[in-house]
Amino acid sequence: MKVYRVLFGFLLSIMFMTANAMAVDMELTDIFGKKYQLEDYRGKWLVLNYWATWCPPCREEIPMLVDYDNQHKNVQVMGINYEPGIEVTELQEFVDNYFVSYPNIMANRKIINVFGIPKGLPMTVFVDPEGKIVKHYTGLLNESLLNRITQKTDE
């Protein structure tokens, strides 16, 4: 029985590594009903930021993420609200009050299956210009860290 568990764990890890090596593509719908196809962002970095309205570090990094998204044409920031039970109208009001200009999506099973469950909030998933997940970062972001990851030219 132990051999089967080890083999199952090994197979899961191979599947996860293979999934990360493949380009991600999915359609996402933001809290205002606008649809986004991730494939349309090939050539840009995607910065997918898991957050919640009750999370102080999440709220703290919003203005920096808005500025970064506006100032870097090779980057697209998207918020993924990880807050089960929040009403979409409450989330829309929060986004409007915080002047969040990048798209915000409510987390769902499809998103979790592709990008993972956050180990803490905020958590950010970096998808390179080829559409491959290259990094998960848990904690408060800063511009220096964003630049180090999204300005890499060869890896």
For the stretch 84-140, pLDDT in tens is: 999 999 999 999 999 999 999 999 999 999 999 999 999 999 999 999 999 999 999
pLDDT at 1: 52
Topology classification of domain 24-150: Glutaredoxin (3.40.30)
pLDDT at 80: 98
User: What are the C-alpha distances in Å from 135 to residues 7, 10, 60, 83?
Assistant: 26, 21, 21, 22
For the stretch 41-87, pLDDT in tens is: 999 999 999 999 999 999 999 999 999 999 999 999 999 999 999 99
Residue length, the chain? 155
Q: How confident is the model at residue 23 (pLDDT cuts 50, 70, 90)?
A: confident
For the chain, what are the domain ranges? 24-150
